[in-house]
Chains A and B, each alone.
Chain A
Amino acid sequence: QVQLVESGGGLVKPGGSLRLSCAASGFSFSDYYLSWIRQAPGKGLEWISYISSTGTNTYYADSVKGRFTMSRDNAKNSLNLQMNSLRAEDTAVYYCARLRDSNTWYDGFDIWGQGTMVTVSS
């Protein structure tokens, strides 16, 4: 079935780095734009990044710009988020999500992974 599965979360000290991955299956991965969205414990949802279907274009929220880098490998049906200079406020569940309509930023997110928890604490 159509599925996204995140991995790579964990506990990291402030200033540290972490790399999240998202494995896709059940759909034509290379046709879709993808995003990372996070949710701090007990809080709302925050979009943090987009990547185009080819990986050529990426966009980031101001809160992570310059610290996080999103990439994809269409041959491996995988998505990555490299997170550097982590802060306590980056503590959240990180979800990868698919844009509903292929080849556009402008749509809702129809497929979500189960999420991976990132905790930034000394």
Chain B
Amino acid sequence: DIVMTQSPDSLAVSLGERATINCKSSQSLFFSSNNKNYLAWYQQKPGQPPKLLIYWASTRESGVPDRFSGSGSGTDFTLTISSLQAEDVAIYFCQQYYGTPSFGQGTKVEFK
């Protein structure tokens, strides 16, 4: 099974500042035959289901603000919120779908 590990567990960022969340997989998520990384990012607010933000490691889901971006390849990935807004306070999860799906433990983003 592929293990996903996020860092940090929590992050305090000032309004308008950048937030960076890291996700590391125990094996490569890159499939060379289609040149894609099998990784997604989600945002979850209290009492709500997760919301898909990014898939294929860097493709933004329709309707997701462009301050959210995903990067990385192989085993190391990053979700960046370029300018934190009030509505971005949430828990963020990475998820791999290279094998049977597994999620990172989550990173809580709060205001500093």
Question: Footprint of B on A, CB under 8 Å?
Answer: 35, 37, 44-47, 59, 61, 95, 97, 100, 105-110, 112-115
Complex CA distance for A114 and B40, rounded to whole angstroms: 20
Contact B50 A112 (CB under 8 A): yes
In the bound complex, what is the Cα–Cα distance between A106 and B31 (angstroms)?
11
Inter-subunit contact B52/A108 (CB<8 Å) = yes
Establish whether residues A47 and B102, one from each chain, have CB atoms under 8 Å apart when the complex forms.
Answer: yes
Interface status of B77 (Cβ within 8 A of chain A)? no
Q: A45-B93, A107-B55 are in contact. Are A115 and B49 (CB under 8 A)?
A: yes
Q: Which of B20-28, B82-90, B103-111 contacts A (4 or more CB under 8 A)?
A: B103-111
CA A106 – CA B100 in complex, angstroms? 9
B103 A44 Cβ-Cβ under 8 A: yes
Of B38, B48, B52, B105, the contact of A109 (CB 8 Å cutoff)? B52
Contact of A45 among B61, B95, B97 (CB under 8 A): B95
Main secondary structure of the interface of B (DSSP, over half): loop
Chain A residues, Cβ within 8 Å of B49: 95, 97, 112-115
Are B95 and A108 in contact, with the CB atoms below 8 A? yes
Q: In the assembly, what is the distance between CA of A37 and CA of B50, in Å?
A: 11
Chain A contacts for B52, CB-based, 8 A: 100, 108-110
Size band of the B side of the interface?
20 to 34
Digit string of B68-95 for contact with A (CB within 8 Å is 1, else 0)?
Answer: 0000000000000000000000000101
0/1 string, B40-58, CB within 8 A of A gives 1: 1010000011111011000
B8 on the A face (CB < 8 A): no
Q: Is the CB of A105 within 8 A of B105?
A: no
How distant is A58 from chain B, measured CB to nearest CB, in Å?
12
- Whole-angstrom distance from the CB of B73 to the nearest CB of chain A? 17
Instruction: Report B-chain residues with C-beta under 8 Å of the C-beta of A107.
Output: 40, 55, 97
CA distance A108 to B101 in the complex (A): 9
Q: Is the CB of B103 within 8 A of A105?
A: no
Of the residues B48, B55, B105, contact of A108 by C-beta under 8 Å: B55
Q: Nearest CB to that of A104 among chain B residues?
A: B97
Query: CA–CA, A97 to B51, complex, Å?
Result: 11
Is A108 within 8 A of B103, CB to CB?
no
With A106-B38, A108-B95, A108-B97 known to touch, is A47 a contact of B103 (CB < 8 Å)?
yes
